[in-house]
């Protein structure tokens, strides 16, 4: 079943790269007591994700925070090393928290996983964005396959 507006974000463990190496991030703790703009991409370093999705959130980070967002996070079914390298390559450090959903557990629990085996990518996350307020989904924007519109930073700004 797919997560809906009003639902609590499911409990899962993501991974974040730190100066001490990869560290687990519990989603209940991460989303608790604050407003988080979360966006998910099918893969780090992939064309739309690298050319449009991540850069849009980097560019609009200040505006999102001015409208009440405490943290902006990007999640993908990649490992923490890849997410860290992608964030550094895109100059996202200090603006976007890069979270790895290495086994796709979070995407699966959200009901937003997809099979990208036809592209040699295996199980991945669908492209989406959401605003999470104190652990609950207040806005959810899931893209149709191949689209990039409603999960953009610009669309999210219009929802705040």
Element (H, E) at 96: none
Measured distance CA(19)–CA(123) in Å, rounded: 29
55: region left, alpha or beta (phi > 0 left; psi from -120 to 50 alpha): alpha
Which of 9, 14, 49, 75 is the catalytic position?
49
35 has catalytic annotation: no
Catalytic residues: 49
């Amino acid at each position: 079943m797919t997560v809906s507006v009003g639902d609590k974000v499911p409990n899962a463990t993501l991974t974040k790269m730190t100066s001490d190496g990869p560290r687990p991030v519990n989603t209940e703790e991460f989303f608790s007591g604050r407003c988080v703009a979360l966006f998910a991409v099918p893969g780090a370093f992939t064309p739309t994700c690298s050319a449009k999705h991540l850069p849009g959130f980097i560019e609009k980070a200040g505006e999102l925070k001015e409208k009440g967002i405490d943290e902006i996070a990007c999640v993908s079914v990649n490992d923490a090393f890849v997410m860290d390298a992608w964030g550094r390559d895109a100059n996202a450090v200090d603006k976007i928290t890069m979270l790895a959903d290495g086994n796709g557990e979070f995407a699966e629990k959200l009901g937003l996983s997809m099979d990208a085996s036809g592209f040699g990518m295996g199980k991945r996350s669908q492209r989406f964005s959401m605003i999470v307020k104190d652990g609950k989904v207040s806005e959810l924007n899931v893209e149709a396959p191949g689209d990039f519109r409603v999960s953009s930073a610009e669309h999210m700004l219009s929802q705040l």
